Amino acid sequence: MGWPRVLVAGGSIGGLTAAVLLRDLGCEVDVYERSHAALEDRGAGIVVLPVTERYFTQRGGEDDRVSLELTFWSYVDRAGVVLSADPDHFRFSGWSTIYRALLDEFGPERYHLGHEMTGFESRPDGVILHLADRPSIEGDLLVCADGLGSTARSILMPEVVPEYAGYVAWRGTTPEAGLSERARADLSDSMIYQVLDPGHILVYAIPDHEGRSTSPHRVINFVWYRNYPTGGPFEDLMMGRDGISRAGTMPPGTIRLEHLTEMRATAAEVLAPTLREVVEGCAEPLIQAVFDLESPRMAFGRVCLIGDAAIGLRPHVAAGQAKACADGWALRDALAAADGDVPLALAAWEPGQLDLGHRALARTREMGQASQFDRTMIPGDPAWKFGLWEPGN
């Protein structure tokens, strides 16, 4: 039968992972990304689960090109006293570090910027991708990795929409070199959590924008979960200083001064000294609203949804990127087992990826409820360990 011609809509980490894997399998692959320039993370760090960097590590050993390792998962109290410290050896990186490494592997020739998907036609013998600014493209398989606001999902299942969880993540980074000696020591080999009332914050080192992963070149990333109910507080928070109301993300430089002032005042009041120093050192943080998304299907003829386009996880298990990458690896394996038969491969691929996504989403919902509303999050609880399949895995 031969390997299919694959069209990937969405060129982020999930789309690129699927692209390099299917290309290496023997498929002809093109990626179409709506943005007109290479994607940027705006300063966001990520936890790197094994499947996220599997494309690199399968070639032998850990790849310091894309992540760094921290030994300890620590919890501290308001005074900075360590409540627990487990040697978990998780790995961390910047979103853009992983993205750039994957893009380097895929190459620019078939990575097409500025091409937005507007629709598609799935037929028994192929699929046609419609783009906003160029003629339609024919292929055998369309992989839709176009994120939480997926155009493909809105066409296939218009009733499935993201649901706001009632809280947001304040995020940002601070250069490690600018921190005090105490803060640098605290963060030298530890990710640090503090449980708040309500909510929680985590802080960890990631490589800088040049990919340097050793002190003092690293940057320190923070993620602070704070509640903003709808009906006023959330809508006000998401109205930018430029007068634009945003639904999901407030990029650096758009958050209004009164909200920055309130956030920093709260940090001074409730955060441990090292965590407070990291937050205060970030001049222009960003805000990401937390959403749930749960699709009942991922495969439709010769079209499939992967990553957040299908199932959007809350961040608490650090598995959003990992889920997208796992979808890509499973798709590669299914196509290989089916000798390139797309309908047969997608039929075999969908049940397992749906089950994985739904179980991970259920865990993140329980964790969000416990930390943000029930206030039952316990420092040192092993159930909070990162992992896609289960805590720690």
Q: Are 37 and 10 in contact (CB under 8 A)?
A: no
- The 10s digit of each residue's pLDDT in 228-260 is 999 999 999 999 999 999 989 999 999 999 999
pLDDT at 65: 61
Closest CA to 289 of 245, 321, 241: 245
- The 10s digit of each residue's pLDDT in 312-352 is 999 999 999 999 999 999 999 999 999 999 999 999 999 99
The answer, yes or no, to whether the previous bond of 216 is cis (omega within 30 of 0) is yes
304: helix, strand or coil? strand
Cα–Cα dist 308/324, whole Å: 7
| CA-atom Rg of the chain in angstroms | 21
- The 10s digit of each residue's pLDDT in 304-314 is 999 999 999 99
176 pLDDT higher than 90? yes
Cα–Cα dist 175/278, whole Å: 9
Cα–Cα dist 161/30, whole Å: 27
Burial class (CB in 10 A: 0-12, 13-18, 19+), 48: buried
User: Chain-wide mean pLDDT for the chain?
Assistant: 94
pLDDT at 44: 74
What's the gap between Cα 144 and its chain centre? 16
Confidence of residue 4 (pLDDT cuts 50, 70, 90): very high
pTM over 0.85: yes
Quote the DSSP letter at residue 4. Answer: P
Closest CA to 214 of 178, 177, 250: 177
84 pLDDT higher than 70? yes
- Go through the domains of the chain in sequence order and give each one's CATH number: 5-40+96-162+292-374 (3.50.50.60), 68-89+164-290 (3.30.9.60)
Q: Torsion over CA of 268, 262, 223 and 247, rounded to 10 degrees?
A: 180
Strands 117-123 and 126-131: antiparallel
Helix, strand, coil percent content, the chain, rounded in steps of 5: 35, 30, 35
H-only helix segments in the chain:
13-25, 54-57, 95-106, 151-156, 181-187, 233-237, 257-270, 273-280, 320-337, 342-369
- Two tokens, residue 357: 């996504």
Quote the DSSP letter at residue 309. Answer: G
43 pLDDT higher than 70? no
- The 10s digit of each residue's pLDDT in 92-118 is 998 888 998 999 999 999 999 999 999
Cα atoms found within 13 Å of the Cα of residue 386, Cβ hemisphere only: 25
Cα–Cα dist 228/168, whole Å: 7
In SS3 terms, 13-55 reads as: HHHHHHHHHHHHHCCEEEEEECCCCCCCCCCCEEEECCCCCHH
Closest CA to 381 of 367, 362, 369, 364: 367
392 pLDDT higher than 90? no
Cα–Cα dist 302/299, whole Å: 7
39 pLDDT higher than 90? no
Cα–Cα dist 339/4, whole Å: 10
